[in-house]
Structure 1
Amino acid sequence: MIHASAIDRFLNTFGSWALALLWGLPLAFAIWTAIHPAEFEANFELLAPLTTVNFVKAWEAAPFARYFLNTFILVTLILACQFFLGTLAAFAFARFQFPGRGILFGLVLLQLLVMPDILIVENYQTMRFFNLVDTIPAIALPYIASGFGIFLLRQTFMTVPKELDEAARLEGASTLGLLWRVYVPLAKPTYLAYGLVSVSHHWNNFLWPLIITNSVETRPVTVGLSVFASTDSGTEWSVINAATLMTSAPLLIGFLLFQRQFVQSFMRAGIK
């Protein structure tokens, strides 16, 4: 008689393999077509010649160097602002008592329930009012304050024993010194976990950058890839897949290099 736990293990293993194949086959196809000549797109020969021509064609067909620079500036700007504002707000919610604290924190949590796409029209009008349309700051401004980041850091700060506050005060630490020397170092796993999520999300963000930008000087890689694919003849899938791999390679390599730290950071930060 088969034990119930054995059936559970089999179903979990089968489901894991099924999901892995579902997600892995398109990636395998993209890699295959990108590293082989165009005539081997639908002809999967094991001895097919390898080539880097598709990557060269893609790189020369569009200003991907500029797209990568724009994206790096964008995700760095957003993450720095989120860390700065989120740290101050989370510390205030976790340790200060002030009128309306619960209401304000409820408004922060309300942000988690609002889809960003709902605010696209209002955000665009705001950027146009400040004459920021088609600029990198215009892409970043709607995201510099993250309700999820504030909530996550607040929960972490609340776990810090108050005895550490008293000890730091006895050493002469100011409020900001207390935050910088005690709370921030203890929350490093949370910062890493949230930083990975933020960078991944804004690297792949597409709709808002597509609407707010219209020039090469400000487009991130996602919008640049879309423009490149739409202007292509549509027959050279090997070149399009090569461009796709180039734009997603930094995130993929980063995840493979920091996979263990990524998972451990989420576990320590309490993200289920």
Structure 2
Amino acid sequence: MSARQLPRPGPALYTASWLDTAAAWLLALLWILPLVYAVWTAFHPAEFSARFDLAAPWTLENFRHAWQAAPFARYFLNTTLLVAMILGAQLVLSTLAAYAFARYEFRGKNIAFALVLVQLMIMPDILLVENYQTMARLGLVDSLLAIGLPYFASAFAIFLLRQTFMGIPRELDEAARVEGASALQTLWRVYVPLAKPVYTAFALVSVSFHWNNFLWPLIITNSVESRPLTVGLQVFSSVEQGVEWSTITAATLMTSAPLLIAFLLFQRQFVQSFMRAGIK
């Protein structure tokens, strides 16, 4: 068909495009308004938390008060160690499991992988009681290991990596074996480098989820020494004279700031990783 015979966009197409743009702007506005309110409240005195005034003075007092009201340095350290521990365990265990499912044949392989997929349909909150009882029997209650241990194995990561490994030509395995590489060397030097976009995409999902996870850490921890940031924020909801929104928003911004900054700095890498990994 020549260029002259191509159909021209009709009014319906322009209308649909306009509606999509308007919906995108509306969703963006609904998302950014709470963030704008949090920033305004955190950087202004408490009396301006419920009213907007361009002449209102800017201050960092709310952040100083929030930092002193709770041991944020300890909370940040706990959360960083927790996220790193979970991500490291997930990458190692999921890589080995995915490689076995993708390249080895063994009895019950399909049944085992089906059980992995079933885990994707089970909400973690359903297992709170069982996980707590298990941690109590192991003597791990009120520790970072107790928070992270139930998440060391990730069915989502196993599924993603298995699909990626299955798409890698088997000729690369044969070439590695000819060079004298063992199975683990082949995995490390061939499969892992080719799956870097998938690892990056999953790391973003894992870090974001466990940085913001609240319910399980709240249940399994009792002391400041093992609490992450999300649980530490609850100290601001028990103010006897009422809720101090300016302090709460300042504490919330300090908690979410690392993820927001990371996204702003690496948003291009974020999007490219998800596109290459095929995550919908």
> What range describes the TM-score normalised by the shorter chain of this pair?
over 0.9
Candidates 17, 22, 33, aligned match of 2:25: 17
Q: How does 1:137-156 map to 2 (within 5 A)?
A: 137-156=145-164
Whether contact under 8 Å (2:41, 2:49) holds in the other structure is yes
1:100 aligns with 2:108: yes
Alpha-carbon distance in 1 for matches of 2:155, 2:240: 39
CA pair 235-123 structure 1, distance change in 2 beyond 3 A: closer
Displacement, 1:235? 3.9
Displacement, 1:212? 0.3
Alpha-carbon distance in 2 for matches of 1:91, 1:47: 61
Displacement, 1:55? 0.4
Name structure 1 gaps, 5 residues minimum. none
Alpha-carbon distance in 2 for matches of 1:150, 1:231: 44
Candidates 29, 48, 51, aligned match of 2:37: 29
Relative to the length of structure 2, the TM-score reads 0.95
Residue 245 of structure 2 is matched in structure 1 by 237
Greater shift, 29-38 or 226-235, is seen at: 226-235
Residue 209 of structure 2 is matched in structure 1 by 201
Whether contact under 8 Å (2:236, 2:244) holds in the other structure is no
Instruction: Report the aligned-residue RMSD.
Output: 1.2
Alpha-carbon distance in 2 for matches of 1:233, 1:206: 25
Q: How does 1:66-85 map to 2 (within 5 A)?
A: 66-85=74-93
Residue 135 of structure 2 is matched in structure 1 by 127
The C-alpha deviation readout for 1:206-252, integer Å capped at 9, x for no partner, is: 11000000110000000000233234643421111000100011111
Displacement, 1:186? 0.4
1:163 aligns with 2:171: yes
1:50 aligns with 2:71: no
Alpha-carbon distance in 1 for matches of 2:155, 2:123: 12
Residue 3 of structure 2 is matched in structure 1 by none
Residue 261 of structure 2 is matched in structure 1 by 253
Query: Could you tell me which amino acid in structure 2 is paired with residue 212 of structure 1?
Result: I
Residue 5 of structure 2 is matched in structure 1 by none
Residue 6 of structure 2 is matched in structure 1 by none
Whether contact under 8 Å (2:237, 2:243) holds in the other structure is no
Alpha-carbon distance in 2 for matches of 1:80, 1:234: 41
Whether contact under 8 Å (2:70, 2:235) holds in the other structure is no
Candidates 228, 242, 245, aligned match of 2:236: 228
Displacement, 1:48? 1.9
Candidates 113, 125, 142, aligned match of 2:121: 113
Displacement, 1:156? 0.7
Whether contact under 8 Å (2:66, 2:247) holds in the other structure is yes
Displacement, 1:166? 1.1
Candidates 42, 59, 64, aligned match of 2:67: 59
| SS of aligned partner of 1:113 | coil
Residue 185 of structure 1 is matched in structure 2 by 193
Displacement, 1:258? 1.2
Alpha-carbon distance in 2 for matches of 1:176, 1:21: 49
Alpha-carbon distance in 1 for matches of 2:88, 2:242: 39
Alpha-carbon distance in 2 for matches of 1:105, 1:233: 54
Alpha-carbon distance in 2 for matches of 1:203, 1:234: 28
Counting matched residue pairs gives 272
CA pair 20-171 structure 1, distance change in 2 beyond 3 A: same
The C-alpha deviation readout for 1:144-193, integer Å capped at 9, x for no partner, is: 00000000010111111111111111111100000000000000000000
Relative to the length of structure 1, the TM-score reads 0.97
Alpha-carbon distance in 2 for matches of 1:234, 1:10: 46
Higher Rg of the two aligned structures:
2
The C-alpha deviation readout for 1:74-104, integer Å capped at 9, x for no partner, is: 1000000000000000000000111111000
Query: Could you tell me which amino acid in structure 2 is paired with residue 95 of structure 1?
Result: R
The C-alpha deviation readout for 1:126-150, integer Å capped at 9, x for no partner, is: 0000010000000001100000000
Candidates 218, 223, 241, aligned match of 2:226: 218
